[in-house]
Amino acid sequence: MVFSSSIFIFLFLPLVLLFYFIVPEKFKNYVLLIFSIIFYLFGGPKYLLLLILVVLIDYLGAILIDKTNKRKLFLFLTITLNIGILVYFKYTGFFIENINSLFNIDLHVPKIILPIGISFYTFQAMSYVIDVYRKKVTLQKNFLTLLLYVSLFPQLVAGPIVRYETIEKELKNRKTTFDDFCYGIERFILGLSKKVIIANQMGKLADTIFLSNNLSSPIAFLGGLAYMFQIYFDFSAYSDMAIGMGRIFGFKFLENFNFPYISKSITEFWRRWHISLSTWFKDYVYIPLGGNRKGPKRQIINMFIVWTLTGFWHGAEWNFIIWGLYYFVFLVLEKYILKNILKKIPSFLSHLYTLIIVYIGWVIFRCDNLSSLVLYFKSLFSFNITSFSLNELSVYIESYWVYFILAFLFQTPIYYKITEKIDKMKGKKIKEVLTVFHYSFLIIIFIITIMFLAYSSYNPFIYFRF
């Protein structure tokens, strides 16, 4: 079940809201837990036990860390079990295939189905255990409460990666105000519309082009641009909807995206893109390795490890590892060479530089294997421009120009700047009128989104596969 489906919008979510707001306060967590389990059962019922097992491992591990003198040993064992489960389900085939290729042998490659959301919920669970070890959070003695934290359906399968410390107090006691409820609905509608109206349309175009043979340069460029918009609006939309639903239920999840395409450096881009993953690797890998405290050489090694893991976290393919190392190179260059240059040049040039690097990065990310990556780059940089390719380009632009305009507009904070100005207006009457327009806009957008859903069968979430 995905957020942008009719069954979720018109059946699952209304039922959750109905039961959640009619039951007494002490039963609200149980309502969310039951519906979170039902939600996960739609995606893969046989892997529900795996999710519960991961939570049980971390629940018991945290107790042993908190109550015994062998804290480091139990932390090591707990993290090892978590990583072991993740590696088995996500990377077994990758390792065996590469061993076969390297040593020219024929080991059996088992067909292991990737449990939905495993990369996200294992990282959440590990963050809880590590923070118990660091004494940043209090031990959770109620297993069902910890299970709710990990399985909470708004962010279960595609993030953001919510730290236990972020919602520790809210798991025990929380309130949903009218303003919270309205904000949550607005955020959900905005995320849903970004997903259905922009990301899905960009995805259709990107898939068409990336699966084509003998691409010309203009078409290859357009495919990369379409995917660049698709992945942003797809993933940020999921985070918007997750944050919105969290707010409705009284949880204040941290932001996961902050308009990354307006960045003026790669360093800034990664402060704005998938913030929960970046900060997770920073706090639980980079800093424990020594961060920048042990000199430039050690810092570069630490960055290399982090960005190799960041790429590998996204999937068991070499293109993801190359993608991670690609960003490692530019982040090192910016830290030691380019930082002062980027500050001195005009801002539009630093912005252009960032977009070019990010664009190429998304092409690497999108290509399924190394051979398709090489072929796509050959097409992209062949500068093969013919009258036929320009005609083909015009056909695509004619079909998708509206969605490209929407994408260009809403990858900036223009909507939020307008709503902020409305909130700050002093004139009562004009403010009331503009507020009516604001909510009318949301209603219209929601209706249009539902119409798109009714007439389209293309509705995947990219990050479900990670």
Task: Find, among 210, 183, 317, 340, the residue nearest to 267 by Cα.
Answer: 340
Helix and strand tally (H, E) in the chain? 21, 0
Sorted by sequence, the CB contacts under 8 Å of residue 420 that are 6+ apart come out as: none
Q: Angle 149-153-154 (CA atoms, 0-180°, nearest 5)?
A: 100
Tell me the Cα Rg of the chain: 23
Total residues belonging to the chain: 466
Q: Residue 374 CB: number of other CB atoms within 10 A?
A: 11
Quote the CA–CA distance of 248 and 17 in Å, as a whole number: 9
Quote the CA–CA distance of 62 and 203 in Å, as a whole number: 42
Of the residues 108, 314, 351, 438, which is catalytic? 314
- 314 belongs to the catalytic site: yes
Give the phi and the psi of residue 153 in degrees, each rounded to 5.
-60, -30
Distance separating the N- and C-terminal Cα atoms of the chain? 16
Give the phi and the psi of residue 295 in degrees, each rounded to 5.
95, 165
Tokens of residue 6, six digits: 């009719």
* 288 preceded by a cis bond (ω within 30 of 0): no
Task: Find, among 413, 406, 421, 434, the residue nearest to 193 by Cα.
Answer: 406
Quote the CA–CA distance of 159 and 465 in Å, as a whole number: 12
Quote the CA–CA distance of 71 and 62 in Å, as a whole number: 9
Question: Does residue 54 contact residue 122 with C-beta atoms inside 8 Å?
Answer: yes
Active-site residue set: 314
